[in-house]
A and B are shown apart, each in its own frame.
Chain A
């Protein structure tokens, strides 16, 4: 019974933070607290493992570095993915006793990545709902309602509610994910560690692409060479 109450508490915390992040992403403030590099460690801290959140947040941030909401174009929803992934993986790592290690992170990403695409649909649905709010505000103002624009804040409800529900569900099922992680055979763990290295490689490539500058490949090459050179130098030192 105590375990169920604890799990409910964890899921509720994940729901509130995930929901607020969804609102912060576009509708309010835009302080970038909903970016994976902030959200994942913050949510990880609330769930008991901030470092585990950071393990997930940094590569996710780099993967989605070039995703920009310009006008009507919608990028994949990095916030929903980061929130759901952290809600599921951090408590799973605690339950499994492994923390957020490379195999669990790679497995979680493979499992939850479709939420980044689902998040785009959520955003389209929110926009449709907001268009109705806009029509209602115009109609009210035309009828002399001076407070018609207060409908604005209602636009925050749908992204909050849906993201909170998804995060709650992910956290609620985290013990199951923890159990799966504990059952990984050694060879699968090694393979998933390789998969996480590959995710970092993709993150670096995506970051270079995300800069959207003609000089980026050359400058990135310089940064790459300097890092490899420094590593070789450090290794050569006695």
Chain B
């Protein structure tokens, strides 16, 4: 942080309530997601309570709001760090310690790498792992398996989202170092490994259930179908796969073949 920016910490600041309002509104980041500006309207909406405190004059506030309506795209959870960091930088701008272009540069520099991290961790690792854990436990826990899914996924997601927001606000541009210390790529590999084991266990259970009682031939058919579908899915697509599975199951199960 520059000396001027350090001195500016004593100038206009966003209140704790204002920060909580921004955090709440950041949960609506994608409400008006669009192909042109992506999360632009959501970002401007999220940061509005902070701008209201920093720029009491409506004309200055409108100008600040307009610069947050620029193109912005990130993972909706990881974006919390950028929203928090942008609030911090807006404080510097409002106090004359930084140029407004620094806010835009910060957003556009962090958006893509944070998007890739968030997609990889939350969409492609944590969510499948949590869902597969719940699916494996479903025969034993029944409806409680849904609670397991929500507790595992949202327990991590909400804690990370809140941490990122406040870390972004307190560290500003230093958030990059904080996120890099979390070692997300290693966690992704670990979660995906477990998810694959659990998916295999579900495949095994499907075969066992189809073979009961005393229908070994059905079990073999279902096992074959799993292998065939896993191989064919990328080529035929999900819709064709669903109807092929339904038709095959109907024909074989009903003795129509």
Instruction: Judge whether A194 is part of the interface by a CB distance below 8 angstroms.
Output: yes
Interchain CB contact under 8 A, A38 and B204: no
Instruction: Judge whether A211 is part of the interface by a CB distance below 8 angstroms.
Output: yes
A51 to B143, CA, bound (A): 7
User: Chain A: how many interface residues by the 8 Å CB criterion?
Assistant: 102
In A1-54, the 8 Å CB interface with B consists of 26-33, 35, 37-38, 41-42, 50-51, 54
A201 to B27, CA, bound (A): 36
Interchain CB contact under 8 A, A32 and B127: yes
Instruction: Judge whether B200 is part of the interface by a CB distance below 8 angstroms.
Output: yes
Interface-side segment among A87-95, A138-146, A169-177? A138-146
Interchain CB contact under 8 A, B135 and A213: no
Question: Quick one: which of A113, A130, A137, A153 has the most chain B CB within 10 A?
Answer: A130
**Whole-angstrom distance between the Cβ of B172 and the nearest chain A Cβ:** 22
Interchain CB contact under 8 A, A211 and B195: yes
The one of A35, A130, A149 that contacts B44, using a Cβ cutoff of 8 Å? A149
User: Chain B: how many interface residues by the 8 Å CB criterion?
Assistant: 97
**Whole-angstrom distance between the Cβ of A18 and the nearest chain B Cβ:** 17
Interchain CB contact under 8 A, B201 and A195: no
Interface-side segment among B3-11, B101-109, B145-153, B177-185? B145-153
**Whole-angstrom distance between the Cβ of A158 and the nearest chain B Cβ:** 10
Question: Quick one: which of B31, B40, B208 has the most chain A CB within 10 A?
Answer: B31
Q: How many A-B residue pairs have CB under 8 A?
A: 352
A150 to B65, CA, bound (A): 11
Instruction: Judge whether B61 is part of the interface by a CB distance below 8 angstroms.
Output: yes
Write the A106-150 contact mask toward B (1 if CB under 8 angstroms, else 0). Answer: 100110010011000000000110110111011001101111111
Interchain CB contact under 8 A, B206 and A28: no
Interchain CB contact under 8 A, A197 and B206: yes
* Given known A-B contacts A63-B242, A153-B45, A206-B241, A219 and B196 have beta carbons under 8 A apart: yes
- Nearest B residue to A136, CB-CB: B41
Interface-side segment among B15-23, B92-100, B226-234? B226-234
Interchain CB contact under 8 A, B202 and A155: no
Tell me which residues across on chain A come within 8 A of B45, comparing CB atoms.
Answer: 149-150, 152-153
A8 to B251, CA, bound (A): 37
Instruction: Judge whether B171 is part of the interface by a CB distance below 8 angstroms.
Output: no
Spell out B's residues near A (CB within 8 Å).
27-28, 30-37, 40-42, 44-45, 48, 51-52, 55, 58-59, 61-62, 65-66, 68-69, 73, 76-77, 115, 119, 123-124, 127-128, 131-132, 134-135, 138, 142-143, 145-146, 149-150, 153-154, 157-158, 189, 192-193, 195-210, 218, 222, 225-230, 233-234, 238-239, 241-243, 245-256
